[in-house]
Structure 1
Amino acid sequence: MIPVTLENFTAQYKDLLEEKLNELLLDLDAPEKVKEAMAYSLKAGGKRIRPLLLFATLHTLGKDPKIGLESAAALEMIHTYSLIHDDLPSMDNDDLRRGKPTNHKVFGEATAILAGDGLLTYSFEVLAGTPDVSAEKLIRLVSLLAKSAGPEGMVGGQAADMEGESQSLSVEELEYIHKNKTGRLLAFSVMAAAILADSTEEQISLLEEYAFHIGLAFQIQDDILDVEGSEEKIGKPVGSDENKFKSTYPALLTLEGAKEKLRNHLQKGKSALAASDLDNGLLVEIADMIASRDH
């Protein structure tokens, strides 16, 4: 038997996710322009870290990762909608995303807004249609995703991020922004898998702690890449956060201080995994990948 590594696991389940997303878009009875705009951003590539984390958690919990396909697709739709809206002139006003023109640059602002709205609402239809899952579990999943993406989660984090522009934030204020803007959806990846797998409360608590720390590590690495990354690899201009007068971990802690903070969160995440007594090799590899990625 071929040993499971992050590389072969990613190849297998990323392909399955792409097939599922294509199938869901084909099934969509919507005006062609909106459908095209939705597909443009949904198929723009990306690492698919959130779905991968969901699949890997299911595998770690001894379940077939395929039972999480609908949850993973819904999660990626919400992540994609958030990027479309973040790039709008009224928010971050970005021209490039993953090295390609942003959605509103291609389709116009109105269609980009509708494409984001379409992905957001379609995600809940997809999640609610998960086969062979009890109504009780589906309600838990839908409620958790809504909370993770809504005003107590990603939307709240984005609002705080915008309010914090041109201000000198504390590390605690910056952590609040990233815990919500980035961390909540990463945590949903792990928590959704735990719900589908009927995990114990102790496992759920430790997995949530792991997700919290790697979510912050993810954002710290984003901030580091904005300072020393390659524009070709990250797909947008280096230094864009500084140009928008945003508080970042390197700005508050120095570049080396930010790297130390990243290492600290990475270690705490791994410690939570170790305490779970699960065969967690894949989740450790994902944590390392998040902390060392170059785009």
Structure 2
Amino acid sequence: MLISEETVRKLVGTQFPEWADLPVRQVRSAGTVNAIFRIGAGLTARFPLGDGEAEAVRRELEQEAYAATLLHGRTRFPTPEPVAIGDPGFGYPLPWSVQTWLPGTIATDDDPGGSEPFARDLAELITAMRAVGTDGRTFGGRGRGGVIATHEEWVQTCLSRSERLLPVPRLRRLWEAMRDLPRGGDKDVMTHGDLMPGNLLVAGGRLAGVLDTGGFQPADPALDLTCAWHLLEPGPRAVLRAELGCDDLEWARGQAWAFEQSLGLVWYYEVSNPVMAAIGRRTLERLLDAPRYERPEI
């Protein structure tokens, strides 16, 4: 789905006349879910790119806004604040959202992978998110964050479609070691759920902001450990683990979630989004180089 700056200007001007005189420009992004436009200096409009019924999309945007509000102001790292939800119009068929703009450079463009202070910032972020508390809620059953083994069918599909792109025999062995990792006694905690380079802002090798917070929800505490593999080199990765105090099992589940996410990026976005495909490939290379989890003998 394509949407032009002119269409966005019309939607903004008619639905939010207080912003009608603000300039609108599209933001370059390797993201795959939304087209993003700046409105003036302080606002961002996000337009869903997928198919869907308008009311279902509206409910999803409302849930994302609620989740983002839960996180906003709960850590020392800036996050976008939900502002409004717009209606379809001028040929664009879905509701859309407006939130505050955060300045900074995404980690895709300014790689902080060798920065130990950045790793400590990530650990502080994860710790602060976990401290928000779930209010008795548990993982909702959609996407990553529940039981790793439930992703078996998806992983097998990805492996079969990656034969010419990746070392599939090695990846199959790695998945077999990861697939049935138990949860142990770890209860669900509040997680961002998608700590990838495009969702983290960097300045001077430090974490400067966190984007895409609409997925903030209870999940496996290992889920946010994906950032260790998407973003960090071995030294900073060890710092992150030490700061969080991860045991071997939790750390291994973090590897498994990073594997499940990255495996789909390479083949699915090979042509349409080379940046995302490259992120997936780099993460898988890091995982293949990492020590394997050894189950304790009973």
Pairwise same-fold verdict (TM > 0.5): no
Which is greater in Rg? 2
Shorter-normalised TM range: 0.3 to 0.5
Q: Which has the higher helix share?
A: 1
TM-score, length-scaled by structure 2? 0.32
TM-score, length-scaled by structure 1? 0.32
